[in-house]
Chain A
Amino acid sequence: MSRIGVFICHCGENISRTVDVERVAAQVGTLPGVAFSTDYKYMCSDPGQGLLKKAIQEQRLSHVVVAACSPRMHEKTFRKAVESAGLNPFLCEMANIREHCSWVHEDREEATQKAIEIVGMMVERVKKNRVLPTITVPVTKRSLVIGGGIAGIQAALDIADCGHEVVLVEREPSIGGHMAQLSETFPTLDCSQCIMTPKMVDVANHPKIKLYTYAEIEHVEGYIGNFQVTVRKKARSVDEDKCTGCGVCMTKCPQKKIPNTFDRNLGMRPAIYVPFPQAVPNTPVIDRENCTKFKTGKCGVCQKVCGPGAVDYEQEDQLIVEPVGAIVVATGFDLYSIEEKPKGSPIKGYGEFGHGKIPDVIDGMTFERLASASGPTGGKILRPSDGREPKQIVFIQCVGSRAREKGISYCSKICCMYTAKHTMLYHHKVHDGQAYVFFMDARTPGKSYDEFWRRSIEEEEAVYIRGMVSRLYQKGDKIVVMGSDIAVGVQVEIEADMVVLATAVQPQKGADTLAQKLGISYDKYHFYSEAHAKLRPVECATAGIYLAGACQGPKDIPDTVSQASAAAAKVMTLFAKDKLEREPIVAKVREAGCVGCFYCRKVCPYGAVEEKEIRDRQGNLIKVVAYVNPGVCGGCGTCQATCPSKSVELDGYTDEQIVAMIESL
């Protein structure tokens, strides 16, 4: 028989004003199983908790019900108190007679009666409560960072500097990401590579960072603290250990006419290449699609010229399993293509801007490469078509972004600022040139941002035209840009030498596939979803996975770096303990009843349900049943409501507890 203790709180007068607390205590004291019942002014106060603890010991209470405020307020308080008195904290329940009773009813009789029923209901519930041990999960103090752009680099360095091992996986042959492509950065105009490359080198040299470039995530298993990540290290065809980075292979490669994607196809590179001179690692990779050796079997020059014998045509993809405890996703962004509308893209094409067919209509990133000192033109702004310097240049903002009719309604956030920067860079390099900007409105919140934008107009003489461009077309060697200036309400026509489109920021291609591997959610644009927009902005709903940078939404560099450090801090918080404790409100499978229909797995929002084989002593398979991984289970109980035989049960909210409550009413 249970010996339940019931404690009715007056909450000063908050409860006792409308609820006759003494009557409630007296009434519930007569319920079967209740051994002790009392009322007290402030149960949550020190003396109140003392009373509770004393009663547990003196009355040898088996369960406790505290009738007071909402459990959302003080459940933790009382469970702690109960625990310190030697009872399992989950044998304590709260009956909410304040928010749900005394505060919402005026009639003392009605409120008292209701309070008696609420407490009675919790008494019946607590009888069915079970001792729940706190669940502890070991934590593997290594983390995985996916993506080697500035977000990934920052997160990796922060975690590694804290002494924890980091596995950094980058899809491209070098880390660096988009920031390595940029010329100068707003609002300070410092050289992107100058601030970026030292960090890249830090990564390469960090004893705690294990770097996989030209690698992708193949498969992710496990849960917070205990992930098993399979990394596919693509065949580089160059042995990283042997290669000294001398670069002879690249200079000798006969196939040199491959568009350089790092330079937005403006320059050419050989079939064996590093994406850019400051690449980390500085180990070339053979582009097998374009390599003569791989296409025809003939050539093999690079192998012959390679002193250390690092070139290996036979190399195959390697699958490496890395155990990690936390994952930071920093896969970054991509720009919406101004070319033909990519298949399956959510946004409609921009035929009015030439669909990429006019060679001197380029996107912002291409302009970055033109403006970059290490770019294909050595930092000179030259037209891709004829190499002439453009004297009239038009920038068009919000290409793709904020265009609901095209399919993207969000703001890409960085374009206003980088366009302003572009006009400045242009003006610095082409002193007699004129920049025009078509814009909807300028969004410049951020430290020194608005000042920067104003400078582009006031000092660098950019002409800002509020309005959109309706059409542009090639006329001789000019591009006629037709738009409207809504500020003055006139049509504008500019004969430009070059047009730069500020195309929308989108998640990386394959963001959705990676999310499915990780079991994290994403929005309709495939940006990854944070657990809470305000309060948990760097965590995924899936425990142990964190977000950094533009994969979560468009971001500039300072925001990206901040979020990366925040994600790193979250990882370090996780790693601060050897074992992870979590509330034991998790589902458990009653294997005897489970027939393995896996309805639970079909509805589980967390992917917590696994298969488990039940075998007899001889090892013969009896059946396959569901197993809920307590580390992954979020505790929603959808599985139990769905299970036809109720063979999976959510601790803390069992059918017995709920039915006991219903039956008490």
Chain B
Amino acid sequence: MHHTEKHNFEPKIIAFVCTWCTYAGADLAGTSRMQYPANVRVLKFPCTGRIDPVFILKAFQQGADGVLVSGCHPGDCHYIAGNFHARRRFAAFRKLLEFVGVDLGRLQFSWVSAAEGGKWVEMVTDLTERVRGMGPMQEFRELALEEQWSGAIDTPELREAYNSI
């Protein structure tokens, strides 16, 4: 069971999942009344094949501390092969993110079937706790606030905005 103790840092976890397997698996976790951290926000896609790497990038830029991508097990894809394409795409993309300095501890890929409510809970819990341990994803947040020197204005408002995060 998940303990609702208070932490200093509540990471923001964004999950990109396919409708047929992982979304249904997360539904099953619900109908089974399993408990997991409330940090995850689920975005439903028809298929992992639809998940564009740009979305992961966008999620980090929008302040996600961790991203979970999850779909049907190989061979179970509702759309025959979408997850096979996704698997290659993400195998490549994670290497790229790693090379530009993103800690891959913040990015989790998984196969969670409609029957694996427990696995969903495990995935979300593990990622949340791991990212909590890693602390906030500062890199993209700081980057978003950075300006070219020529455009930077050292205004009190900006300073305040910066300090608020």
Contacts and interface: CB of A to CB of B under 8 A. Distances in A.
Question: Within 8 Å by CB, do A and B touch in the complex?
Answer: yes
Interface of A: 70-73, 96, 98-101, 103-107, 110-111, 113-114, 117-118, 121, 521, 541, 585, 603, 605-606, 634-638, 640-642, 646, 650, 652-653, 655, 658-659, 661-663, 665
Size class of the contact patch on chain B: 35 or more
A265 B42 CA distance: 64
A475 to B, nearest CB: 49
A521 B80 CA distance: 9
A665 B64 contact: yes
Contacts of A121: 41, 43
B63 interface: yes
Contact of B46 (A107, A650, A659, A663): A650
Greatest chain A CB density within 10 A among B12, B33, B34, B52 is at B52
Contact of B29 (A104, A110, A118, A635): A104
B30 A103 contact: yes
Nearest to A587: B50
16 contacts: A70-B30, A73-B27, A103-B30, A104-B30, A106-B4, A110-B4, A605-B81, A634-B80, A636-B79, A638-B47, A638-B49, A638-B81, A641-B50, A646-B52, A658-B55, A665-B12
A650 B50 contact: yes
Contact of B62 (A521, A605, A663): A663
Nearest to B49: A638
Contact of B26 (A100, A105, A661): A100
Contacts of A661: 43
Interface of B: 2, 4, 12, 14, 19, 23-24, 26-31, 33-36, 38, 41-47, 49-53, 55, 58-59, 62-64, 77-82, 85-86, 89, 121
Contacts of A541: 80
B interface majority secondary structure:
mixed
Nearest to B52: A641
A639 B150 CA distance: 41
A99 B29 contact: yes
A634 B46 CA distance: 10
Given A99-B31, A104-B29, A662-B43, A641 B51 contact: yes
A636 B89 contact: no
A371 to B, nearest CB: 42
Contacts of A106: 2, 4, 35
Contact of A641 (B29, B30, B89): B89
Given A117-B41, A642-B85, A662-B14, 16 more contacts: A70-B30, A72-B23, A99-B26, A110-B38, A541-B80, A585-B46, A635-B46, A635-B79, A636-B82, A641-B49, A641-B86, A646-B52, A655-B52, A662-B43, A665-B12, A665-B63
Q: Which 3 residue pairs across A and B have the least CB separation, nearest first?
A: A99-B30, A637-B50, A638-B49
B85 A104 contact: no
Given A541-B80, A653-B45, A603 B85 contact: yes
Contacts of A634: 79-80
Contacts of B85: 603, 638, 641-642
Contacts of B59: 662, 665
A100 B124 CA distance: 12
A121 B44 CA distance: 11
B46 A636 contact: yes
Contacts of A640: 50, 52
A541 B33 CA distance: 34
Contacts of B43: 121, 658, 661-662
A113 B38 contact: yes
A593 to B, nearest CB: 15
A107 B49 contact: no
A72 B50 contact: no
Contacts of A636: 46-47, 49-50, 77-79, 82
Contacts of B30: 70, 98-100, 103-104
A322 to B, nearest CB: 27
A44 to B, nearest CB: 16
Nearest to A114: B38
Contact of B27 (A72, A641, A655): A72
A637 B38 contact: no
Nearest to B39: A114
A585 B45 CA distance: 11
Contacts of B41: 114, 117-118, 121, 665
Contacts of B34: 104
A663 B144 CA distance: 14
Greatest chain B CB density within 10 A among A99, A110, A635 is at A99
A657 to B, nearest CB: 10
A98 B42 CA distance: 13
A630 to B, nearest CB: 15
B139 to A, nearest CB: 17
A528 to B, nearest CB: 13
Nearest to A111: B38
A642 B42 CA distance: 22
A99 B27 contact: yes
B41 to A, nearest CB: 5
Contacts of A105: 4, 35-36, 38
B5 to A, nearest CB: 10
A111 B4 CA distance: 11
Contacts of A107: 4, 38
A638 B82 contact: yes
Contacts of B44: 71
A75 to B, nearest CB: 10
A25 B46 CA distance: 28
Contacts of B14: 662, 665
Nearest to A125: B43
A117 B46 CA distance: 21
A479 to B, nearest CB: 44
A117 B39 CA distance: 11
Nearest to A70: B27
Given A106-B4, A665-B64, A637 B49 contact: yes
A536 to B, nearest CB: 11
